[in-house]
Amino acid sequence: MKAPPSSSGALLRKGRLSPYLFTLLAFILFVTILYGEDFSCIFGGQFEDYRPYRSLSSPTKKKVEKLAFSLGEAESGCDIFSGRWVWDDRHPLYEESDCPYIQPQLTCQEHGRPDTDYQHWRWQPHACSLPSFNATLMLETLRGKRMMFVGDSLNRGQFVSMVCLVHKIIPEDRKSITTKGSLTVFSAKDYNATIEFYWAPFLLESNSDDAIVHRISDRLVRKGSINKHGKHWKGVDIMVFNTYLWWMTGLKFKILQETLGGEDRDIAEVPTEEAYRMAMKTMVRWAKKNMDPNNTRVFFTSMSPTHAKAIDWGGSEKGNCYNQTEMVDDPNYWGSDSRKSVMNVIGEVFRKSRYPITFLNITQLSSYRKDAHTSIYKKQWTPLTSDQLANPVSYADCTHWCLPGLQDTWNELLFAKLFYP
């Protein structure tokens, strides 16, 4: 009696599968299992994993193994933008008189401010602590690299603050600062490093692009026109964008479809939020095209609040930040000059983006600081009238911030997010 055929042989005959082919398939399966990780590395690039961030502080991003310049991860559950102000005798981190780079619009002590309490507050997150700002680490990280702040005068203030925070450890003859047109460059020669500021209040091309003469009431932005400025940003390693204040001219904003300066101009008037959304999308597209997320970092600083209406915090209807020496103590305070609809636009654009932009959410923590503005303690570029002198509220600057002061905290937060994202 013949022995029954083996089950594998029966299957081979039934399926008409050659024994040699069966052996080859078995070998391929074995190699795939053994070297599966290597195959993933080879082919994985074709199927990149994109995961949206869940919050504004962690915007939507393309997955990268490790964000450039990071030294570690932030503490679990820590939102460094949620916290409180605490008194700290170790602040300020530098003296106004020790930093010659502060513009006279921001030197409050030099221009007669009688108090210094606004300099001594430190931001304390609820669930963790900020790492101490380390000027040596910052400069070593910038060795052979460029850091640039792009935006309006508020971003220029943050740029100056960063320069003040690092310049003291650089010998006097090994540092310099130059300005040409829209670009200001602070150079640390021994590090072959630069910290730069580029004036572009809308990021896009506008009729307010002159770095000196730009006070134009009828503001106009050209649609999608970022390359006029963007060509000066190429090659930057750490980029810090901001744009907000200059868009706040009303509920509508004018967008030019054609080239600025043309005779036949096609101008569309759109809701400010839509105009702002266009600028945000254009910025993200530029970053995605020109900044490699494996080697560079892009930050966006949220809107800087103003304190032009004292009634917002329970003060006089005719008052503002003038003579304010204490901060707002309501943890839920949100001033009427900070438009949440614009904040929502930033969130929408960043959440949909696949490019990693780190959001510096300074709005809420700065909203408490009605005490930190330059107010009347700054250089006045035009002589004050007798009526203004009789009523200081009328010319108090409740937009910009004294240095040293609040904007140093913005850079402490930038430092934290750069090294511990």
The two structure tokens encoding residue 38 = 């290597």
Asked whether residue 152 carries a pLDDT value surpassing 80, the answer given is yes
pLDDT tens track for 193-222: 999 999 999 999 999 998 887 778 789 999
Grouping H, G, I as helix, E, B as strand and the rest as coil, residue 238 is strand
143 Cβ contact partners less than 8 Å away, ≥ 6 residues apart: 191, 192, 193
Q: pLDDT category, 63, cuts 50, 70, 90?
A: low
276 and 221 Cβ atoms separated by less than 8 Å: no
Task: Find the catalytic residue in 91, 167, 373, 400.
Answer: 400
Q: Is 18 a catalytic residue?
A: no
Q: pLDDT category, 224, cuts 50, 70, 90?
A: confident
d(CA 153, CA 344): 23
Task: Supply the DSSP symbol for 117.
Answer: G
d(CA 175, CA 54): 41
Question: Taking residues 347-364, what's their average pLDDT?
Answer: 96
The two structure tokens encoding residue 325 = 């020496």
Beta-bridge partner residues of 388: none
| pTM reported for the whole predicted model | 0.84
Task: Find the catalytic residue in 57, 152, 153, 353.
Answer: 153
pLDDT tens track for 280-333: 999 999 999 999 999 999 999 999 999 999 999 999 999 999 999 999 999 999
Q: pLDDT category, 76, cuts 50, 70, 90?
A: confident
d(CA 335, CA 276): 20
Which pLDDT value is given to residue 262?
57
CB atoms within 10 A of CB 160: 23
Q: Which residue has the tokens 């040293």?
A: 404
Q: Is 126 a catalytic residue?
A: no
Q: Is 307 a catalytic residue?
A: no
Grouping H, G, I as helix, E, B as strand and the rest as coil, residue 203 is coil
Task: Find the catalytic residue in 312, 371, 397, 408.
Answer: 397
Question: Taking residues 87-114, what's their average pLDDT?
Answer: 97
The two structure tokens encoding residue 42 = 């080879």
Which pLDDT value is given to residue 54?
33
